[in-house]
Amino acid sequence: MTKTQDKSTLAADLASYPGSDQAHRHFTGLIYTGGIQLMAERCEAYWLIDAVASHVVTSRRLKREPFLVVRMVASGGSGSLSFHSDWNHQDSTEFPPIVSQDIPLTTFPLGELLMYCIDSVLMLPSEY
């Protein structure tokens, strides 16, 4: 993300991304959509796709779930990545993470990003 890119504009762009016909294949086999590609470009976060793919492809617990909510939270230069079977916006404790990873150092510009991983296809909620 460029320094002039407004975080709220970026968040709004991702929240309303309508989807596209393009699909991208990560080297692990995970498929991700044009919205995820846009997020990676604008947030300089291709590493986030790598992190999600590494968990989805290798975790037996995650492989059993056809639908995952992937949550990236960043604050103060650190963050966390978590995978949930569902998500309740009013009560984030309702669905505890199946798998989570602390990210000790990140420049991820958004405070929170939710993504869906459905049958090994990673997408933004607006693309569902």
CATH number at residue 53: 3.10.450
Query: Any idea which residue has 């999600």 for tokens?
Result: 52
> What gap in Å lies between CA 127 and CA 36, rounded to an integer?
10
Residue-wise pLDDT for 77-88, tens only, equals 999 999 999 888
114 occurs within a structural domain:
yes
Q: How many CB atoms lie within 10 A of CB 120?
A: 18
> What gap in Å lies between CA 128 and CA 116, rounded to an integer?
8
Residue 3 has pLDDT above 60, yes or no: no
35 occurs within a structural domain:
yes
45 occurs within a structural domain:
yes
**pLDDT for residue 5:** 56
Domain that holds residue 28: 7-14+21-127
Residue 2 has pLDDT above 50, yes or no: no
What is the SS3 assignment for 126?
helix
Helix ranges restricted to H, the chain: 7-15, 34-43, 46-58, 60-63
Residue-wise pLDDT for 32-90, tens only, equals 999 999 999 999 999 999 999 999 999 999 999 999 999 999 999 999 999 999 888 78
> How many domains in the chain?
1
2 occurs within a structural domain:
no
> What gap in Å lies between CA 2 and CA 22, rounded to an integer?
24
1 occurs within a structural domain:
no
74 occurs within a structural domain:
yes
